[in-house]
């Protein structure tokens, strides 16, 4: 992952890690950069089994946003 690659490059002279977060890139990377920053800060995700979380245990999209999607675009 991006976090592990970042941590692999650390050495004794590393004093800071800078992460640039830009709107467009962050919106297109499915949360990879934000999750990297949170991981480097020592945070870990907590699974939430709410149906509004977005995916079920098999990775199939679920929840309110998916239910509303056919109203926005036609699904095939």
d(CA 50, CA 7): 32
Dihedral, 25, 72, 54, 33 alpha carbons, nearest 10? 0
pLDDT at 52 over 60: no
Query: At residue 50, does pLDDT exceed 70?
Result: no
Closest CA to 2 of 42, 31, 24: 31
Ordered by start, the domain boundaries in the chain are 1-45, 48-76
For all residues of the chain together, what is the average pLDDT? 73
pLDDT value for 71:
60
Give the residue with greater pLDDT, 63 vs 23: 23
Has residue 39 got a pLDDT over 70? yes
Q: Collapsing DSSP states into helix, strand and coil, what is residue 61?
A: strand
Average pLDDT over residues 55-70: 63
């Amino acid at each position: 992952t991006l976090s592990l690659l970042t941590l692999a490059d650390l050495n004794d002279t590393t004093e800071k890690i800078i992460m640039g977060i830009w709107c467009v890139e962050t919106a297109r990377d499915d949360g990879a950069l934000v999750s990297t920053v949170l991981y480097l800060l020592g945070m870990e995700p907590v699974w939430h089994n709410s149906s509004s979380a977005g995916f079920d245990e098999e990775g199939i999209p679920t929840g309110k946003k998916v239910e509303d999607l056919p109203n926005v675009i036609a699904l095939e």
